[in-house]
Amino acid sequence: MTEQLHGLYVRDLRVSFDGFTAVDGVSLDVAPGDIRFLIGPNGAGKTTLVDAVTGLVKATGSVRFGDRELLGRPVHRISRLGVGRTFQTSTVFEELTVLQNLDIAAGARRGWATLLRRRHGVPDEVAEALEVIGLASRADQLAGTLAHGQKQWLEIGMLLVQDARLLLLDEPVAGMSHEERDATGQLLEQVSRDRTVVVIEHDMDFLRRFARTVTVLHAGKVLSEGTVAQVQADPRVQEVYLGHPVDAGTAPTATEA
C-alpha cells in the first residue's frame, strides 16, 4: 500500500447526555500502525468514545486522524476520511450476499453512473478482501446465513474495502470460539500492517495475545495506558477492577476462566 499510515490523536474529549458526562476529558494518542485495545468496566465510556470519534454523538475537544480534525463533520464525511467502525452487534446486511456487502462497502465514492448499472464480476479490492477474511468460497451466500464469527470477519472485510485507514472495532470476538478468536487475531495483525486499529474488548486472553498497547478507561477518564505488561502492573487498574466485583472476571490480573 502506498498510502501513508496515520495515527489517532484525541485531546480533552468530552461527551455528556442531559447532565451525565460519559466521556470526561479523555486524551490519548494511537500511533500509526498500532493495535490499541480500550478496556474498562461497563459504563467507562469506551463505546461513547468511539461514537464521538465517528460523529455519532456530539462532543467537545479535538479528535484528529493524521492531520484532519474529525469533530463537527457528519458521519458519512468522517467515514470518507478513512475512519471505519464495527458495532457490538453485527450489522452486516443480512438480506444481501457477502459479495454485495463488500461491494457496497467498496463503493462509497462511486458516481451515479456506476451505481445505476449492474455489477459485473468482482472488483479487485473486493476479491482481495474476500481472500483476506477467508470468505471467498461464500461470496454468493446471503450474509444473514453466515455463522457469527464469519459475520464479524465480513464486517472487518467491509472496512478493508472501504479503505478505512483507522479501524475502530467494538468487541469483535464476543461470542466467538477459540479457533475463531485466533483467526480474528491473525486477521488484525495482518490488517495492521498498513492500518491503525483500535479494539474495544473484554476478553483478556485475546488482549494479552494480540494487543500492542492498552488504554484503560474508568468513569469517562483515562486511568492507565501502556503495554499489556505495564497496564497489568498498574496498581490503580487493579484497584478499580477489584472495586467492581462484577467485572472481576475481566480484570487484567484475574486468572482466565
Partner 1 sequence: MTLFRGRRILAGAMTLVAAAALAACGSKTTDQNTSAGVTADVSGDTVKVGLLNSLSGTMAISEVTVRDSIMLAIEEINAAGGVLGKKIQPVGEDGASDWPTFAEKAEKLIREDRVAAVFGCWTSASRKAVKPVFEKNKALLFYPVQYEGLEQSPYIFYTGATTNQQIVPGLDYLKAQGAKSLYLVGSDYVFPRTANKIIKAYAEANGMKVLGEDYAPLGSTEFGTITNKVKSSGADAVFNTLNGDSNVAFFKEYKSAGLTATSMPVVSVSIAEEEVKSIGTQYLEGQLTAWNYYQTTPGAANEKFVAAYKAKYGADKPTSDPMEAAYVSVYLWKAMVEKAGAFDVEKVRQASDGITFEAPEGLVTVDGATQHIAKTARVGKVGADGLITEVWNSGAPITPDPYLKSYPWAGGLS
Partner 2 sequence: MTTVARDPVTAADPTPPAAKPAAGPSRHRFRAVAGFAFGAALLFAVAPLLLSDFRLSLLAKYLCVAMVAIGIGLAWGRGGMLALGQGVFFGLGGYAMAMHLKLADAGPGNMPDFMLLYGQLDELPLWWRPFASPWFALPATVLLPMAVAFVLGSLVFRRRVRGAYFAILSQALAAAMVILLIGQQGTTGGTNGLTDIQGFFGYDLDDPVNQRMVYFIIAGTLLALLALTRHLMQSRYGELLVAVRDGEERVRFLGYDPATVKLVAYVVAAGMAGLAGALFVPAVGIISPAMIGIVPSIEFVIGVAIGGRATLLGPVLGAVAVAWARTALSERFPGTWTYLQGLLFVVVVAFLPGGLASLVGLLRRGDGERRPGWLRRSRRTEAEAS
Partner 3 sequence: MTVLIGQLFTGVSIGAVLLLIALGLALTFGQMGVINMAHGEFIMAGAYTTFVLQQVITAAGWSLLIALPVAFVVAGAMGVLLEILLIRRLYARPLDTLLVTWGVSLILQQLARDIFGSPNVQTRAPELLTGNIALPGGITVANNRLFILALAGGAVVALTVALRVTPLGRRIRAVVQNRDLAAVSGIATARVDRMTFFIGSGLAGIAGVALTLLGPIGPTMGTNLIIDAFLVVVVGGIGQLKGTVIVAFALGVLQASGEYLTTLSVAKVMVFVAIVAFLQWRPQGMFTLRTRSLA
Residues in contact with partner 3 by CB under 8 A are 17-18, 22, 48, 56, 87
For residues 28 and 222, the answer to whether their CB atoms sit within 8 Å is yes
Q: Which residues bind partner 2 (CB under 8 A)?
A: 54, 56, 75-76, 79-80, 84-85, 87, 89, 91, 93-97, 100-101, 103-105, 107-110, 112, 114-119, 121-122, 137-138, 140-142, 144-147, 158, 162
- Among partner 3, partner 1, partner 2, none, residue 234 binds (CB under 5-8 Å by kind): none
CB of 51 to partner 3, least distance (A): 8
Between CA 197 and CA 35 the distance in angstroms is: 5
- Among partner 1, partner 3, partner 2, none, residue 48 binds (CB under 5-8 Å by kind): partner 3
Is the Cβ of residue 73 or residue 208 nearer to partner 3 in the bound state?
73
Is the Cβ of residue 18 or residue 140 nearer to partner 1 in the bound state?
140
- Helix, strand and coil content of the chain, in percent to the nearest 5, comes to 40, 25, 40
CB of 120 to partner 1, least distance (A): 7
Adjacent-strand bridge partners of 39: 216
For residues 172 and 224, the answer to whether their CB atoms sit within 8 Å is no
CA torsion angle 110 111 116 121 (round to 10): -30
Between CA 123 and CA 161 the distance in angstroms is: 10
Q: Does 109 bind partner 1 (CB under 8 A)?
A: no
Selected range binding partner 1 among 117-125, 158-166, 191-199, 241-249, rule: CB under 8 A: 117-125
Adjacent-strand bridge partners of 185: none
For residues 212 and 35, the answer to whether their CB atoms sit within 8 Å is yes
- Among partner 2, partner 1, partner 3, none, residue 138 binds (CB under 5-8 Å by kind): partner 2
Binding mask 120-159 for partner 1 (x = CB under 8 A): x---------------------------------------
Who's near 64: CB < 8 A, 6+ residues apart?
A: 8, 9, 10, 11, 70
CB of 185 to partner 3, least distance (A): 26
Query: Residue 204 corresponds to which cell in the numbers above?
Result: 483478556
Query: Residue 86 corresponds to which cell in the numbers above?
Result: 464495527
Is the Cβ of residue 101 or residue 184 nearer to partner 2 in the bound state?
101
Residues that bind partner 1 (CB under 8 A): 117-118, 120
